[in-house]
Every structure is written in structure tokens, then in C-alpha cells.
A and B are shown apart, each in its own frame.
Chain A
Amino acid sequence: MSNNIVIFGGDSHPELVAKICENLDIKPSQVELGKFSNGETSISVRSSVREKDVYVIQSGCGHVNDTFMQLMILISACKSASASRVTAVLPYFCYSRQPDIPYTAKGAPLVSKPRGSNTSTPVNNKSASTVPISNLPNSNQINNVGLQSTNTVKRPGEDFPFKSLDSAIRSTIHMESPTPVREPKLVKTGSMSRIPMIPGGKVSTKVNNDAEELFNAQNSGYKLWVVQAGTLIANLLTTAGADHVITMDLHDRQFCGFFDIPVDNLYCKPMSQNYIQHYIPDYGDAVIVSPDAGGAKRATAIADSLELSVAIIHKERRSQLLKGPPDATLTSGVPLSSKPLISHHNNQPVIKRSNSNSSISSTGSNSKFIQTTMLVGDVRNKVCILIDDLIDTSYTITRAAQLLKDQGATKVYALATHGVFSGDALDRIKLSPIDKIIVSNTIPQDRTIKKLGKSRVGIIDVSLVFAEAIRRIHNGESISMLFEYGF
């Protein structure tokens, strides 16, 4: 390794830092991490970073905001000490999982809805009130608009979704106009008339007001507004001075798009596959299970490369107020069932509704939600491997495991890239029918092993992939082969 590379580790995961450095055959550089007595994070960088290629490794775990601030301060310290490039290595990217959107009484997220209606209604209104400005045809009649100029009129007119004005113009087109300069001005008024539209839009968004009234009546404002911190976190890292980000299995792939700097999202999939092949006995008869519909793609990808069958657990939060017999929810599950059909197994997907799993969730304060879970695919007398990208509160995974056992699965493995295990997640897993939990070491797992015992926990080492990615990025080589083969 050239001596131009400097690696700093935050205090979130020193073991991983040591392992990555070991794989790179270099020593992590000296940095003192601590806190002042008033709680402020203190950092002092002990070795020179001038014109060096700096990598700062910090996993987004533990006391997240502390570790994140530490990362940012460390990055900015390196940057202001003239490092040539600073790469933030976040094996687990904090805040990458955006909080769940609360649901309305109608069972749909309201957050985007009023906004959507807001934007759509003014458009409709626009057409309504811009029509009166069709003094345009009047003036045209007097002005005698030319055929040539009509084309210039039409182009901005296309933005407006109404045909009447457009056709009105067209009808008067046959007249002649003195100046084409006049025309764009008239068009301008058309677009400016958007402004008087706003109050009109307000009136028409009665749905919104109704919703607000509804929530006010419930003493909750329109509180369904959960902030999506993704963009902010990305921007903060960039502001701190990061030039490059390396991470693994981002919950949202779109997250990369929040950054204006290159993001290398590594995949744990090759290592996961490797683990299944080597450590799960008789994996050839196993079924890969996705604990929710969102992870179906992830599960099918692994199943496809291992040539295993897939099952999907579909979770739904529906309002009790929603009309329709249980069959109605079943039909809504039908389009999902087409997914296992795509996978090359002939067994007809069986849709099972476990009514035992229906429970009234206590989280919804304003209305009662019913939680229904259904399993798509056959797991009877099979070994099941639950695949997810991260296990946090472990509610999803333990519930899924219970469902699988109820449906006759012989063994349940749970495999995830990031084991956050917040709160009393580990207690829940301990009591759950999960036979073995397999997570990578993007987050320290000492507590997990301590709590569940060594035999129930499998650890996938990702330090090699990170080391190789760092080596390749430092040397300016392509890292795309890491996506395919891992290490």
C-alpha cells in the first residue's frame, strides 16, 4: 500500500476498523476521540494528513447523533488540515431508513396526498380562470394574429392543460397580427394569472381542510408529517467536507441520489450467499422468505442466484373502518401472488391469511388499525431463510418467524446485513422461534452474541470488502466486481 493513505476510525466500531486496516496491511492513524466536560465532542488528529487520501470509518450505530457528529468533526478536521481527499466510510448508514409514514383513517399515507391535490387542483383551476383572460382572442381579432406567431403562442400554451384557450387561439389564428412581440406578452399574462389562482386553489382543497378539521377534532393537528432526514444527512456530510462515501446495503437505493458526491454502495449479497452455501445445512431445500413486500426484490435476487424458491410475507396495516370483507384484502393480495409465480417453481402459490396474527395495533392513536399478515408461498416442512437488509426493533422478523413456524417451517434462519437490534430487540429474538440469526459486522455484535449465545448467531465478516473497496478507490480501480463477487 502506498504511504499516501490515512485511515481514521471513529469510536463506534473499533474492531471493524482494525480488521479493515489489517486487510490493507496498514495501521490506523492516531486520533484522539473524546468529549469535553460539557459534552461537546473533542477530536485531535495526531498524524499529518496533508495531501493524503483520508478514509474515516464510522458506523452509524450506538449513540447515533454522537457518532455522526464525531464523523463530521473528524472529516472537517482532516479537510481543514489540507487532506487531498476525505472519504467517509459508513458500513451502516444512519438515518438511511426513513421513518414510517403515519396512516390516515383511510389507510393511505396522507402526507403526500394533500400536496398532490394541492398541485393538481390549481392546475385545473388555472384553466378555469385563465379562460377569462381570453381577451386574447379578442385582441387577436383586433390585432389580426399571424399564422407564424401562433406557433410561438402555442408552445407555452402547451404547458396549460386546457384545450379551450389553445383552440381559441387557433381559431383566431387565421387573422393577422402586426407584431409577434405582442404575443409572448399576452402569453406571459396567462402564466402570471397563476397567482390569483392560489386562493382558488385553497377553496378547492376542501378535502385538505376537511382532513385538517378532522385532525383538529382529534387534538392532533395534521400531525402526519414525519420529516425525511435523508437529504439533510447527505448534505451535512458534504458540508463537513466528505468527497466520497462508501457504505453498504443502503435501505433505499435512492439514497445515493441525495448526495452530490460519489457514493459507493457495496453489497453484502455475495457474502450472504456464501454464508448460506457454506453454513446452512441442506440449503438446497430451503426457501428464501422476504419478511415484507418491500424486500421481495432482495430476497428473489438471492434465491435466483442460489436457485431456491421464494416466499413472501405481506404485511398490511388497514383501518378497521375500511369497508369490505376479509376477502377484499385477499384480492388486494392477488397481484402480489404473481411474484412467486415468476420464480421458476411450479407449486401454486398458496395464500394463507393468518387471522391469528391480526392484531389491533396500539400505535394508532386516532383510529384502530388492523394488522394483517399473509404468506405467499409454501414453507411446510422446509427450512426458511428470512432475508432483510436490517433488523432494528426486530418486530417484523420475529413476527415473520412465528408465522413461518405456524405454517410448518422446520427451521427458521434470519439473515440481515445490518443488525441494529435497538431497544429490547434481542430479548424478543431470544424468545422468538428464530433458530439462528445471521448478521454482518457492519455494527458491533458483541452484545448479540452475549445475549443469544454463540450457536444462535452467525457473523458475516465484511471487513475484506471494505478493505478491497478502499484499496481500489485509493488506486483508482473499478470496484464494480465487488458488487458481483464480494470477497
Chain B
Amino acid sequence: MPENLGLTKVTKQTELMSGKDSSEMTSNSIKLLAGNSHPELAELISKRLGIPLCKVGVYQYSNKETSVTIGESIRDEDVYIIQTGIGQEEINDFLMELLILIHACKTASARRITAVIPNFPYARQDRKDKSRAPITAKLVANLLETAGCDNVITMDLHASQIQGFFHIPVDNLYAEPSFLNYMKLKVDLDNAILVSPDAGGAKRVASLADKMDLNFALIHKERQKANEVSRMVLVGDVTGKTCLLIDDMADTCGTLVKACDTLLEHGAKEVLAIVTHGIFSGDAREKLSNSRLTKIVCSNTVPVELDLPVVDQVDISPTLAEAIRRLHNGESVSYLFNYAPPV
């Protein structure tokens, strides 16, 4: 009897506790933080979610060290940090910003920290292609984890194996559904053919071609040095067709321009390029303005400064916003692999 009395008291106590606890749970909400790499995208995501961006100050001291100030409480919140990998001069600055932001949230007792990295930096340095070459993508993955990242959302990783570099969940989203919507609107798909500019992308293009019920061709390129292409061989028939070159990124655009030339030589009617990450570094501008590409369509995973008429942009912020919402609510993200949320 006395023991019973003690027990009931205990359960009452726990009831009280759980009641308080659940009310604490509901107060947990999404906090959006943005680095300096792509404020427009962060703004779009924030608008889409209807959640204002957190007040964060990301500064650079005169000695070029990065300093971060968190302007509001993020204790026990679900934090999403939006930072993309871009910038010929600042790519490392942005990476450090991201790491310090993550670390800041960790020390500020955020419940969960998700890095939203639309364009994963160093994604192309993902293998030891020669002796003693650094696998920097792996290093970046480790750094993110060390900083205290709990989750990563990214888009069209150069190699999806990079997900395996992490010990934390990585959601690799696709820009493809958004591009599909664009193509349905703007391209005459009846006479189109999908083209992969290299053998590596063949699988992805083939699956897309299946989905769209289109034919696909392949260009084999022989690369001797990074960012330089020597010879191209076309596999498939493109005569009189509208060619859609599909790739995950356009950097110096050497590949795309050469592929375009190859396709036109083989009798293609017109050539459009569709790339997820429009980095456009080096002399991309020059190459593109002199190229015979009808259009180059890229997403806004990175800010595109080129104001050429040939460049078109597709907004992928709805996909990212939806992924954030789903992640926060614990819903499945796989719907987004096939469908883009309506703009």
C-alpha cells in the first residue's frame, strides 16, 4: 500500500512532465539562415515558406577572417542554413561561412541543423584520379559533420556517390522535374532528342528520355586536361532534330559549346542546353556569346550574373522550400524526385 502510494505520485509527476514536454515540442519551428553566397535564393525560399529569414550577420573582418553573429534565439529550433558553393574568389569564404554558421547554431543549442547546399562545393574532386590527389568532396563532407551538421539538402550532386561520404542523411534533390515543366512549356518536344554531352551523364539522360518518351543520343568526349576537351564522337542520329543537351553543370562551357558544334555538324536543327548549376566561370561568357546554342537553361542553385539573352533561368526554390517543409514535418521527400511543386 505505501509503495503504491509512491508509485501513483511518480506517474502523476511524469504526466505533468510529458504534458509540458509536448508543449515544448510544438514550439519547435523552422528557422531559415542564409549566408552571403546566394541571398536571392534564400529570399525566394523564405517567401515560399512564409517564414522570414533569421537575423544573422555574416561579416568579414579586415583581416579577412569570417565572423558570424546570430541575431535571434534558435534554441531548440529546426535550423536550415542556405549556402551554395560558388564564387571564383569567395568559394572558400562561403564554405567557411557555412561551417561557422553551423557551428554557431550548434553552440546555440539548435535542435537540428540542416545545411541546404544547392550546389555542393568541390563536388568534382570526388575521387583519387591520380596519385596523392585530394578527395576534397570527402573533406568537405567531413568538415560539415565536424561543424555539427545533422542533415544535408543538396541538388544534382555531380556524383551521387558523394552521399556516401557523409555519415549523416543527405537529400539529393533533382532539378529535373522543374526543367521538365520548363521544357513542356517552351520547347517543341515532338521533334526533340535528348543528348548527353558525356558518357557519365548517359544514365541520367536515358532515364529522363524514358520518362519523356524521347530518343537519346550520346557524345563521347576525350578529355586530356581538366576543363579542356579534345575530341568528340556522337553516338545516335540527330538530323533535323531539336537537341536538348543535358548536364549537371556548366562551368567554362567548353564541353557544351563543342557538343553544340558537333551536333550542328551532324545536322541538328537547333541545340538547347539544360544544366542544373550554371557556374559560368572563366571565359564562359565569351564562349556562350559566340556559340550557336539557341538557349542555355540553368537553374538558380547559383546566382547567374550573365545577362546574355541566350541564358534562361528556372526557379528551383519551390523544390528546396518544399523539401525543407517536408523534412521539418518528417514527411517523405521522394515525391520531389519526380514532381516539381507548382510555382
Binding site for B on A (CB under 8 A): 35-45, 48-49, 62-66, 68-69, 72-74, 76-78, 80-81, 94-95, 99, 133, 135, 139, 142-143, 182, 185-186, 189, 192-193, 195-196, 198-199, 212, 220-229, 231-232, 235-236, 238-240, 392-393, 420, 422-423, 425
Contact = CB atoms under 8 A, between A and B. Distances in A.
Interface string B37-79: 0000000000000000001010001111111111111000000
A484 B251 CA distance: 54
Given A227-B103, A392-B63, A76 B20 contact: no
A64 B63 contact: yes
Nearest to B249: A38
B212 interface: no
B17 to A, nearest CB: 5
Given A182-B3, A189-B10, A422-B64, A80 B93 contact: no
Most buried by B among A38, A77, A139: A38
B177 interface: no
A53 to B, nearest CB: 16
A47 B121 CA distance: 27
B66 A65 contact: yes
B104 interface: yes
Contacts of B6: 135, 139, 143, 182, 185-186
B9 A37 contact: no
Given A196-B20, A198-B20, A65 B63 contact: no
A138 to B, nearest CB: 8
Given A94-B65, A420-B63, A73 B139 contact: yes
B147 interface: yes
A142 B93 CA distance: 67
Most buried by A among B55, B108, B143: B143
Given A40-B122, A76-B136, A222-B71, A69 B96 contact: yes
A39 B64 contact: no
B134 A77 contact: yes
Given A38-B91, A69-B96, A226 B69 contact: yes
Contacts of A37: 88, 227, 251-252, 281-282
The contact size tier of chain B is 35 or more
Nearest to B20: A196
Contacts of B142: 239-240
B132 interface: yes
A227 B95 CA distance: 16
A227 B251 contact: no
A77 B133 contact: yes
Given A135-B9, A195-B17, 13 more contacts: A64-B63, A65-B95, A66-B92, A76-B139, A139-B5, A189-B9, A192-B13, A198-B20, A225-B104, A229-B100, A232-B99, A240-B142, A240-B143
B25 interface: no
A236 B143 contact: yes
A232 B147 contact: yes
A41 to B, nearest CB: 6
A48 B131 CA distance: 9
B146 A236 contact: yes
A459 B225 CA distance: 43
Interface string B263-302: 0000000000000000101100000000000000000000
B21 interface: yes
A423 B282 CA distance: 28
A225 to B, nearest CB: 4
Interface string B304-331: 0000000000000000000000000000
Interface in B6-44: 6, 9-10, 13-14, 16-17, 20-21, 24
A393 B67 CA distance: 15
Nearest to B101: A227
B100 A227 contact: yes
Contact of B136 (A41, A224, A425): A41
B71 A195 contact: no
A355 B47 CA distance: 51
A240 B145 CA distance: 12
12 contacts: A37-B281, A38-B91, A48-B132, A64-B63, A72-B139, A80-B134, A139-B2, A185-B6, A192-B17, A225-B108, A229-B66, A240-B142
Nearest to B14: A192
Most buried by A among B92, B99, B281, B282: B92
Nearest to B135: A80
Contacts of A80: 128, 132, 134-135
A303 B67 CA distance: 35
The 10 closest A-B pairs by CB, nearest first: A423-B62, A77-B134, A422-B63, A221-B71, A45-B132, A422-B62, A37-B282, A227-B104, A39-B88, A81-B132
A48 B130 CA distance: 12
A325 to B, nearest CB: 34
